[in-house]
Every structure is written in C-alpha cells, then in structure tokens.
Structure 1
Amino acid sequence: MDNNRYSVLLVDDEEDIIRIIMKKLDWESMGLTIIGHAANGVEALEMAEELTPDIVMTDIKMPYMDGLTLCRKLKELSRTIRVIIFSGFDEFEYAKEAIKMEAEEYLLKPVNAVELKEVFERVKNDLDQERAEKRDTEKLKSYYMESLPVLQESLYMALLEGRITSGQIYKYMDTYQIRLPGPYYVVTVLHLSSQSVEENGMDPFLMAMSVQKYAEEQTDRRWRSRFLIYLGDIIMISQLSDKEEMLEYTNDLDRLCRMGNRVLNVRITAGIGYLCNNLEQIPLSYQGAKQAVSYRVLYGNTRAISIADVEPAERVEMNWEDAYSSYIQQIIKKVRVGEQQGLEDAIAEFTGWLSGAQLSMQQYRVVLMDLLAELFRFISSHQLNMEEIFGSSQDVYTKVLQLESAEALGSWLVKICRNLQKAVTFERQDTTKVFVQNAVEYVKEHYADQDLSVEVICKKLNVSSAYFSTIFKKETGKTFVRFLTDYRMEQAVSLLMTGNDKTYMIAEKVGYAEPNYFSYVFKKQYGMSPSKYKADRLEQK
C-alpha cells in the first residue's frame, strides 16, 4: 500500500451498512484505502492484528464482541490506531464509555456523507500532523540539540569506563559534537568529604553541583576541561598541550581544593590520574585518579594528589592490565550480535593494540589466557561443541602460544569467531523452532480451552506477546489467532464427520462458548454451515 495513504478497517454486523459507507466517500481522493471489513469485534481484532490498520470505524452493538470492547483491545494492540465509533444508540453512557476508551469520534446512525467525510478528514489531519512531527527535520534537530548534553555526558561515562573501542570513540564524538583535540589528557576526580557535606546540611547532589560550578569558574581555561557528576564525584577530563604542564595543572587543582574549602565550606580532594596521549587510555587515567583519591587517608584531604607522584611504578602495569579487556569484550559482543565486518574490525583493533603494547612474555600470556577464558565462557553459556569451534582436540592454549605474530593470532581469531557466529546462529534457529513447536503443541493440547489466547500462551512460555507474535508468524506463516482458528476448524470437521454431536456440542469441544459464533466462523472458513457441510460430504460418499 502507498505509504502516504492511511488504511481503514470497517466493522459492522450489517453488511448493507458496510456497503453504503464504502460508496458514500471517494476514499482514494481523501488519501485513504479500505483494507477490509469485518462483521464483528472478534473478526475485526484478528484482521487488525494481521493488517495493522491506521483507522478502525466500528459499530457498538455486534455479536461476539461489541465495539467498545473492540476499541479497548485495539488500543492495547497499538496506541496509534484511531477508532471511530458509530452507533444507533444516542445515550450518554455509550458516549462516555467511548471517550474513556480513547475513541477519536462518536457518530450516530444514520450517517450522512458530509458528516462522514468531515470526521475522516479530522482523523486524517490528526494522523498527518503526527506523521509530520515525526518526520519534521527541524523539530528532530531541535530535539537532538536539547538531548545533546545528556548524550555527551553518557559518552563521557562510557569513555571513563572503557566501554568504547578506539574505532567507535571518534565516531561518537563527531555525532555528539564533542571536540577533545588534546594532545594530552588527564582525568581528575573531585571527591567531597561526606562528613563536611553532612555538616553543611545540604543535599549531597546539590553540593556536588555547587562544587562543579565553582570548579568550572575557577580552573584555568587552558585545561579545556569537561565536567560531569558521576557516582557522587565530580569528574574532570582535562587537556594539556605539553607534558611539562602537568606540574602546573596539579598546582592549579591544589589551589581549587583549598579555595573550595574556604568559599563553599566543603573539603575537596582532587585525585589526579596518569597523563595519557590518546583517548583510549582515558579509563586508565580514571582508575589512577580514583586510586589517588584513596591516598587522602595518608596525605590528607583539601588538596590535590597525583597518582604519578604516589605510585609512579604502577603506570605500565595499569596500562596493559586494564586496556585489553575492553577489546576482548568488544570481540565477544560482535560474535554475539553476528556482525561479521564489525567482528573483523574489533579483532584488528585488538591485535593492533597487542603489537604496540610492548608487553613482556608473561604479560602476553596473561592476555591470551583471558582471551581464551572469555571464548570458553561464551561457548559454555551457549552449550556449543568445543571441538566444532576449534576444529581439533589439540590443546588450544598451546596452539595459540605457537602463533608467531599478532597478525597470525588475528587470523586464527577471525576463523574461530566466525565458527562461533555460525554456531550461535544455528542455535538461535533451533531455539526458535523449538519455541514455536512448543506453542503449536500447546494449541493441540488446549484448543478446547475457551480462554486460550496470545496472552495465555505467552504467559505459559514466559515471553512478550510482541516477540511471540513476530516469531510465530515468521515460522508458521500465520498469526497465532489464525493458526488457532484453523486448527479448531480442522478438529470441528473431524468431530462433525465422525460423530453425531450437535453443533453446540462441537462448538464447546473446540473452544467456542457461543454456538452462533462457531457457526459464523465455520461458514466463513468453508463457505457453508456445519450441517450443510456434513450433508454435502455424506452425499459425496
């Protein structure tokens, strides 16, 4: 269907009224398309699930499910469906209930063409406006700019925690309009003494905001610092032009702590992390800054403490221990989501880091052990066959150690991770098939249950209805309601042709509380009533 048109589903148990409404308007010129019509609420709900109409126009008084109940269920199905109710009942209670169900319009029969056109035009204009707002580039840009500070802060947090690989950092910085040209970076944690915050009697978060504002005002502009409040501390990501500026930066932060105590009456410790020359090392600097703060018990608070002064020998060790884990986690993530190109890029970043890290042999072995541990953990959690992944019973660790370069390790890792991706894909397909098969078996065992529905079976399988509906239709080619109806009708035919039960008894046995509705569905399915169907089949024999 044309994406610029809106689809309409008409619902009334009087077919003559449906035909009249369809002829009253030039639907095409109004930008609307009739995609179907139903004779009752149950049928309409089934069609809505499959056809997803934009507008549903329904009568109130109908068999099996009335229009108000249909309205409620349609809104549960999708909040975006617009419902127009038309009825011969000019009663306040009906109108009030329609409003409660969030129906867009309430019309009284008989409806003339002018009134009907006006109603549909109003609903269409409302849909047009909603669609325009969603597509309005300027509004989207405005919303984006309003959200930018929050997005930037989220990126800073991810950067501090090492949750972004080098290939992603600059992409996100460009998207979120962040410039950090460096060339040197240092993370500082401004930690507030909990005792002095309590003495002030101020809310800790408000105090942190006060200190952040003061720090933004007082720190030298040449440090080009970015500020955020994270886990109760104020975090500074600062940029230095030269290594030699580190001493001056430390002195500046020391002055900030002393002045902050006088002006704000709160004791501040500035933990200064290691100086680094690329953004990938920001997590290392952040870890160092937190470690520096912990030294306040030895050196006192209300001052700046640089980790490079108190733990100068720890720097190299931190660089290699903390850096590689984010690369490994990124590789596992790409395996999990099935991104082949993304996987190769993640592996290339990891082996590139490995080539330039200047690790000792002992450190190199630790990295390989952690890498293999993550791979084994992934294989175990997905219950995969180890030999199918690695290709032989040879000791994997020994084999990896025998690889002569980071490039050789990368080639081996690409091969293994592709095997993992294939195995996970097959596992998911098998899981999906088992999942749908369980649903089918449940239908076969419980089709006689009159309360059997998507909600019931989803609760049984412990999945969301949206996920279940998507997977079930993909595997069977039918919606769940359609599948259930078809199966019930097959069982009804079997009972009809092999026994002497009355129609109402067969209806009850296949899950229909209303014999009349059962007959209606049967006739719709086979083109004739149950009694005539049986008579015709017996005659053919």
Structure 2
Amino acid sequence: MDDEVTIREGLKAKIDWDALGFAICAEAADGEEALRAIETHEPDVVFTDIRMPVMDGLRLLKECAERFPHVKTVVLSGYDEFSYAQVALRYGAKDYLLKPIIRKELTGLLERIRREFEEQRRDPREGQAPSDWNEQTAHFLREQFLLDLVKGADRPFPEQIREHAARLGLDAYLADDAKVRFLVAEIRHESMYEPGGRRDDLLFLAFYYLVRELCQEWRRDAFVFHDPARRNMLHLIVGADEDERAVEAWADRTLQPAVRRYLKAECVVGIGSAVSGLGNLREGFQSSLYAWSLSPSGLKSGIILADRAMKDDPGFPPQTERKLATQLQNLDARAFEACLNELLGPELSFRSLAVRFLKILFVLETFCRRHELESPEIDRILLGMPDSVWQLQNGIRMKTLLADLAARAIRQVRETQASGGAEIVTAIKRYLHDNYASSDISLGLLAETFHVNPTYLSELFKKHTGETYTEYLMNLRIDKAKTLLKDPLLRVVDVSELTGFSNPNYFSIVFKKQTGMSPLEYRNRELGRDGNRSI
C-alpha cells in the first residue's frame, strides 16, 4: 500500500515473489482502499507506507490489529519518519523496511515470515509468540532510545531505563563505571551551499551507511544514531577507554578521507568529553555539539575536541544549569535574565560565549519540549549552526535573544495555565499512557515532571477528567490488563508486572473489585475455557 505508483511497481519488480512462496493479490493507493482489499482478498502479509492520503498507514495498522490480527503488517518508512515507525511498531507492525528498499533485506524478511507461517501450521501456538526483531528494527529502537536519553526526554525511572537498555543491548553504555564519548559528524557538500540548496536525502543516506560501516570496522562498541531535527548530522557513541587522540586519529585518517573519496564531500567532526554514569550522558552528548559548533563555516573539514576547545572556559557547572531550569520552571523571567547577565559577561572571549550560549539554549529547548511548546526560533538556530551562532557576534546579542526566547516560552506556559490547564491534563494523560507499566508513578513525581503544585495538579486533573489521577491510572492499568490476559502465553503474574502492579496479589484484588471476577476467571471467559481449567 503506497500512494506512489513507482514505489508499488518497484516493490513488485524488486524480487521473484513466486520463488519465495508469495503471490501479490492486490495493491492500493490509500488506507481505505487497502482495508477494502484486505477484506476481499484476506492476505497473509501487508506492506504499507506510513504517509498516505484518505487514511494514513498508522490508522491502517491499528485497523488491521483490531480486525485482522492474523495479518502480518510491514511498514515502508523514509528515514525522516522514524517517529512514526516507532508508533507503528506499537500498533503491531511485524517489521519495517527503510526506503529505498534493499533487495537483500526484503528477501530476508519474506523468508523469515514464510518460516513463521510454516511453523504456525505445524504448531498453531508458535505463531502467537513474538519473533525476534531483525537487525534493522533493533538498530532503529536503539537509536530512538539513545535519542530520548540525550535529548532529556522525561524518563524518571533509572531502573526502568537500565532494563530497557539491557533488552536493546545498550546496557554497557549505562553502567556507572563505564566511560563513553559522543561524536558529531556533519557532511558538507557543495550542493548545500548553492542558492536555495538543501539536504540531498540520498546523499545523506549514503553518508549514514558509510559512517555505520566505518564504525563497525573501527570498534565493536561504536554506535551511530541520528536526530531528524539536526540535518546533515550523525551522532556516535563509543567507549572512552581510549585517549581522545586515538579518536581524533580515526576521524582524520579514516572517516574524513572516506567521505571525500566516496561522497565527494567534506566532513566536520566534534569530539565530546568522556563521561560516565546515566546522569551524565546528556552532558557528554552536548559537549560534542559544543565542539562541533566551534567549527569553521563553509565547505571545509575540521576536527574539534571539546576538552581542548573548552580548556580555558568549560562553560558552567551542572548546578548552574539546574538553576536556570528551576527559574524557567518557576516562570521567573527576571531571575533568568539576571542569570544571563552573570553568565554572558563582556570579559569572555567569543568562543567562551558561544559555548555558554549553546548550553543555555539546550536548557530552553528542554523546557519547551516538556511543555510541548512550539519553538521555531530555537530550531532555526540549532539547524543553522555553526553560522547562526557566529552571526550573533557578541554577548549582548546572545543575552537579548535568550531572554526574548525565555520570556516567550514563559508567556506561553502562563497562557496555558490561565486557559484552564487542559493542555497540561492532556500531556499528563499521554504520559500515563506511556508509563503505566512503571510502579513508581506518584502524584509528587507527576507534579515534579510537569512543574506544577501537587495539590493544584490533583484538582486540575479531576476537574478535566472527572476522576482523580489515581482512579484514572488504575482504570488505565486494568484496561491494559484485560487486553494482555487474552494472550494465553502470558501468566497472570506477568500481566501484573507489565501493568505496573508490584504485587500480583494486590493486582488480583483490584482486578476483581473493578470487574467482578479474578484475572483467571476473566481470561477463561474471554478465551472460552472451562472455568476449572488450570493455566
């Protein structure tokens, strides 16, 4: 299912479908047409794009999961649609393929799906168990996980983070005694500097795969990820057991020559400071961006090391960053501006000013993201670096811009609160839907996360939902438990844990109070089993 005829025709011609045991029974240009085709032809596998007219791919996936659970769905995704692909996987997509489709990956996926059908025919229970992710899916999930960590997404449960990291094979980076280092690699091509020039997606895709391949040859622990908000740029995380000079040598002798040779482009590399521990990952990531931002503008290669660049002025300590964040949380624009005057004084060199400006800008970016505010000016500066920073010329302009951005963000939050707080409640509900499986959620934690008084939050939530936050969360968990209990492969104790109940006995008590039956009785009823049958 794809709204582009060329994509559909290319997919059909890519491989010998018959030889792999598949026959193409239908094609469609939008989601509604696809649903009709699924009803008519009852296919085993559906390939769908995400962005389609009439009904998009995400709605189609959700409909398939509810109405045709036997159908295996595969997402076709462009690189800039990773956030959509993440939701698609939650809706039960079997896998996803990155455009442009590579014949080897498509063939491998179909062979794996065919084996699963064969196993399911031999033993129907086999088809109910989730299969292992392929390497591309696993890589995508690792990218999203790292991006959430370093961009300061709200993840207040360290143990939950470590468990997730272990499932993705990233736990070595998060160990308290593990030292890691972040790098930024930016591609610069002459086409980007022409009037009206913009990123060439195919060139960037080639850059992405080239850097991944070089990293795999360099070090087994090197991992590449991408932030769609920062064009032309890739991020790397690597163990910091080697001296920074070894990393510099790899960038100088391997990475940059390969980019010049194969892509006819230049490459700027920012090498961050070594950090250790979960709480310092974001600072390490930002140090690589600080280093990169000090690179010369234009079509030039360069390597900048954060430790050298910030030797004279490391910016400011973490406690100052927390102070700025607290001032924003308190909606105190005057205190924030006074702090700017202290941090961006006239005695500093422009390089020192640039480092501090970016650190403050990241604090503002995090504040806007937590309050779900649009921040086009911040995005413009980050996308335009390093030129956008150099154009500010002096500390006075930096202070004026940052104070204005903070004042606008604070004003937006005040307007939201004055409007009755509906947006805050919506954000809290979304947060609960994403984190209901954690047993650590509390009113105090929600108040801290959304920067409001606990009593005010409690009253506001009940005003807009008719329920206390506790009642809402409990109903949400029970609804999720009902869905999970329909899976015969999950034990009741597993369902209890997956829905945020730390004690299975308490889960059974709450479930029976809500539904009038025990979890086991509910499962037997839904699966049409004899109530005396044990599980």
TM-score after normalising by structure 2: 0.37
Q: Which is higher, the Rg of structure 1 or of structure 2?
A: 1
Whose helix fraction is larger, Structure 1's or Structure 2's?
Answer: 1
